[in-house]
Amino acid sequence: MTDDLSGATWFKSSYSGDKADCVETAFLPGSLVGVRDSKDAVGSALIFSAREWETFIGGVVGGKYDC
């Protein structure tokens, strides 16, 4: 995997609407998922395996991270 994510297709949740302060994700080669801050598109991104990402999303949907 290369550190060059310039060719990645980033997207944000449809629930974000026109807001600029969002988290964006990108599906990357090798079954990886990138996550970045939409306000800093050229900054750092976190990279997760597909399994890590599925576990996180499952926790979100299941209410694991609700306050």
What whole-number percentage of the chain has pLDDT above 90? 60
Residue 67 lies in a domain: no
Look up tokens 């976190």; give the residue.
Answer: 46
Torsion of CA 8, 12, 13, 19, to 10 degrees: -170
Residue 16 lies in a domain: no
- Give the mean model confidence (pLDDT) for residues 4-31: 86
Total domains present in the chain = 1
Residue 37 lies in a domain: yes
Q: Cβ(16)–Cβ(22) under 8 Å?
A: yes
Cα end-to-end span (Å), the chain: 35
Range of the domain at 42: 22-61
Whole-prediction pTM: 0.79
Residue 41 lies in a domain: yes
Taking only the tens place, the pLDDT of each residue in 30-57 is: 999 999 998 888 888 999 999 999 999 9
